[in-house]
């Protein structure tokens, strides 16, 4: 969704950055900026700065930066559009497409009614749990070890016996039957047309969105009858594929990782034991949408599914989905077919932390799963396992293979060299190996890359600070040296009415951090025009050196014709002369 520039300017002006940031952390003035310990990462010395005049923030520790939009994205773990919508609500601004669209306004108002119905239902279930009708629910909660503060923290309630308790209560408050049906609070028998409460004689787990709204509910029976759980289906305000139970508890938290579990009680049991960073899928296998949601919060996810066969099969599926989204994945394996809640009740947080410290990598878990398919107590089983496992390890990158051949050797007793040879044959495993794509190999050191990035940033900082520097760089053709996001910024700098804060505000998180870094040291910049042109000259020299290295490497090929060799020598000569 593209927002009009005028509307974005108004949004930023009505969400003054110091006011918004101050609602999360105390700011103290020092020089031209305000400072605090960064709310995005743990630190003892303040390195988080806010520039009121530029309406930007930057952390010298974790290098997060941007406008108030990127700050909200980082703090609340939201996408760009979600952050804009949150700030628009804060400023009581209608979104551009809603201003003159009556249907959108009607749908938005109806969604608000469904949120209100769910909130009222959650309050009703809590009152029932605590009241005289709630004894069955309280007895079950006590059997599960749920104490008062945990019950209140998770808003656990009780749906009493009866077909219309909730329906009567909410309709008395003015909610219509259609609203309650659409929210998933009532169900309608397709044959008789009878309408009744969706949850009866069940413990109720409210499902909250990251913004704190009640999206739906999960209901568990108090005995062993089936179905054990009933969950809210898809509604206008809830889709289970796009949400995770317990994620709302991570709002504003500084997370190193998240623990992915299967059920409500796993999240609650771990939280009670002191493991407060667990989330669960909602009555469905892990989805790509949920994996992308996790990626907003952390780079590392631990899968902690039940220790039984069903849980381990779900783990393998989850591994593939999370890995595909670029997350680092590790697997916590529980002994004796225990689930996470059962395990922490016996061994506590210390036991869980020990399992986490010894969690399997993605590849190690796959090998362990293969091993469970064979009887390693006899020679045939060990041989079959070794063939399949070695074929899998042979698909990995060479730097990964050594440790996994050692793991297979430990399980089978075979020599590592024999296993390595078996892996080269590639027999017994069906997945195709991952390969690096072919391309031009360029020997460029990290130091060269850091130097180029520094030169680019310094050059752009001069252009942002000084119009003469910008004009000189444009005249010298500096735009051809730039890559994104710098290239687009450079093109926009001399547009009429250009606002750096508004421009950065329209960027995604990574681009905004890069662009905000341009202004962190601009007050110390002297002679910006000369500095900018010096940076450009050095960048051009580095490009020439890279090109020369490529040509010299190409010249070493043994399959070149005389004509090709002569042409390469001429190009090398021309480059050497140009350097002089």
What integer pLDDT is reported at residue 202 of this predicted model?
A: 96
Structure tokens of 484? 């994104």
DSSP-based helix, strand, coil % in the chain, nearest 5: 55, 10, 35
What's the mean pLDDT in 549-566?
Answer: 78
What's the mean pLDDT in 110-118?
Answer: 93
105's CB contacts (< 8 A; 6+ apart) are 98
Helix axes 379-393, 362-371, angle to 10 degrees: 160
What pLDDT, in 10s, does the model give residues 61-92? 888 888 898 898 888 888 788 888 889 888 88
What integer pLDDT is reported at residue 426 of this predicted model?
A: 65
Burial (0-12, 13-18, 19+ Cβ within 10 Å), 34: buried
- pLDDT category at 398 given cuts 50, 70, 90 is confident
353's CB contacts (< 8 A; 6+ apart) are none
Other Cβ atoms closer than 10 A to 537: 11
What integer pLDDT is reported at residue 194 of this predicted model?
A: 95
Structure tokens of 310? 């069903």
DSSP per-residue letters across 458-469: HHHHHHHH-HHH
If one compares 210 and 442, the residue with the highest pLDDT of the two is 210
Q: Is the pLDDT of residue 499 over 80?
A: no
What pLDDT, in 10s, does the model give residues 250-305? 877 778 899 999 889 999 999 999 999 999 987 667 888 888 888 888 889 999 98
Q: What angle do CA 98, 179, 230 make, to 5 degrees?
A: 115
Give all strands of the β-sheet with 278-280 in edge-to-edge order. 278-280, 258-261, 300-303, 328-331, 360-361
The third-level CATH classification (topology) of the domain covering 108-238 is DNA primase DNAg catalytic core, N-terminal domain (3.90.980)
> Whole-model pTM?
0.65
Q: What does the alpha-carbon distance between residue 133 and residue 117 come to, in Å, rounded to a whole number?
A: 21
What integer pLDDT is reported at residue 21 of this predicted model?
A: 92
Phi-psi map region of 203: left, alpha, beta (phi>0 left; psi -120 to 50 alpha)? beta
Closest to 208 in 3D by CA, of 184, 185, 238, 180: 238
- The residue with tokens 């989850």 is 318
Alpha-helical (H) ranges within 55-176 are 68-76, 80-90, 102-130, 135-143, 148-154, 165-172
What pLDDT, in 10s, does the model give residues 419-451? 988 888 765 554 433 222 222 233 334 344 467
Domain at 447-579, CATH from 1.10.860, 1.10.150, 1.10.3110, 1.10.357: 1.10.860
Closest to 114 in 3D by CA, of 209, 205, 181: 181
Closest to 522 in 3D by CA, of 14, 180, 54, 73: 54
Domain at 5-98, CATH from 3.90.580.10, 3.90.550.10, 2.40.50.140, 1.10.357.10: 3.90.580.10
Longest dimension (CA), the chain: 97
CB 448 within 8 A of CB 542: yes
Q: What does the alpha-carbon distance between residue 405 and residue 424 come to, in Å, rounded to a whole number?
A: 12
Burial (0-12, 13-18, 19+ Cβ within 10 Å), 477: exposed
404's CB contacts (< 8 A; 6+ apart) are 363, 364, 367, 389, 393, 396
What pLDDT, in 10s, does the model give residues 302-343? 999 876 666 666 677 778 888 888 888 999 988 888 889 999
């Amino acid at each position: 969704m593209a927002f009009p520039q005028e509307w974005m300017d108004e949004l930023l002006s009505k969400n003054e950055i110091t006011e918004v940031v101050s609602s999360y952390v105390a700011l103290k003035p020092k020089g031209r900026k305000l400072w605090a310990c960064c709310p995005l990462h743990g630190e003892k010395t303040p390195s988080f700065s806010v520039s009121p005049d530029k309406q930007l923030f930057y952390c010298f520790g974790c290098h997060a930066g941007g406008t108030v939009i990127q700050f909200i994205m980082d703090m609340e773990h939201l996408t760009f559009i979600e952050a804009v919508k949150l700030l628009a609500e804060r400023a009581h601004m209608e979104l551009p497409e809603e201003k003159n669209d009556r249907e959108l306004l009607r749908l938005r108002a109806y969604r608000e009614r469904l949120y209100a119905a769910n909130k009222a239902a959650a309050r009703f279930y809590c009152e029932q749990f605590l009241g005289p009708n709630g004894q069955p629910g309280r007895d079950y909660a006590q059997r599960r070890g749920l104490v008062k503060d945990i019950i209140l923290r998770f808003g656990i309630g009780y749906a009493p016996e009866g077909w219309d308790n909730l329906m009567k209560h909410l309709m008395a408050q003015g909610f219509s039957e259609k609203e309650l049906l659409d929210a998933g609070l009532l169900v309608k028998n397709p044959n008789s047309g009878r309408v009744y409460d969706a949850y009866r004689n069940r413990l109720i787990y409210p499902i909250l969105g990251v913004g704190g709204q009640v999206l739906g509910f999960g209901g568990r029976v108090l005995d062993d009858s089936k179905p054990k759980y009933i969950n809210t289906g898809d509604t206008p305000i809830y889709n289970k594929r796009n949400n995770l139970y317990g994620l709302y508890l991570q709002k504003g938290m500084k997370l190193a990782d998240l623990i992915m579990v299967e059920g409500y009680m796993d999240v609650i049991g771990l939280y009670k034991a002191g493991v407060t960073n667990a989330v669960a899928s909602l009555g469905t296998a892990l989805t790509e949408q949920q994996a992308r949601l996790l990626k907003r919060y952390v780079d590392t996810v631990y899968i902690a599914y039940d220790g039984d066969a069903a849980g381990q099969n779900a783990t393998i599926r989850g591994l593939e989905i999370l890995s595909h989204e670029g997350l680092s994945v590790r697997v916590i394996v529980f002994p004796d077919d225990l689930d996470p809640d059962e395990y922490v009740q016996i061994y506590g947080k210390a036991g869980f932390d020990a399992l986490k410290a010894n969690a399997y990598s993605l590849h190690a878990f796959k090998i362990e799963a293969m091993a469970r398919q064979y009887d390693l107590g006899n020679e045939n089983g060990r041989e079959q396992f070794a063939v399949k496992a070695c074929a899998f390890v042979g698909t990995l990158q060479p730097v990964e293979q050594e440790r996994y051949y050692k793991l297979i050797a430990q399980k089978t007793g075979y020599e590592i060299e024999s296993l390595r040879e078996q892996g080269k044959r590639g027999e017994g495993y069906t997945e195709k190996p991952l390969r690096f794509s072919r391309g031009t190999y360029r020997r460029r050191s990290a130091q060269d890359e850091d130097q180029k990035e520094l030169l680019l940033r310094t050059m752009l900082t001069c252009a942002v600070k000084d119009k003469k520097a910008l004009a000189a760089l444009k005249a010298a053709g500096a735009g051809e040296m730039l890559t994104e996001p710098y290239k687009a910024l450079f093109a926009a700098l001399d547009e009429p009415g250009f606002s750096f804060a508004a421009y950065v505000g329209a960027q995604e998180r990574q681009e905004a951090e890069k662009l905000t870094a341009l202004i962190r040291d601009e007050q110390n910049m002297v002679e910006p025009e000369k500095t900018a042109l010096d940076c450009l000259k050095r960048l051009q020299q580095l490009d020439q050196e890279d090109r020369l290295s490529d040509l010299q490497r190409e010249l070493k090929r043994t399959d070149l014709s005389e004509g090709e060799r002569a042409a390469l020598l001429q190009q090398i000569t021309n480059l050497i002369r140009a350097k002089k």
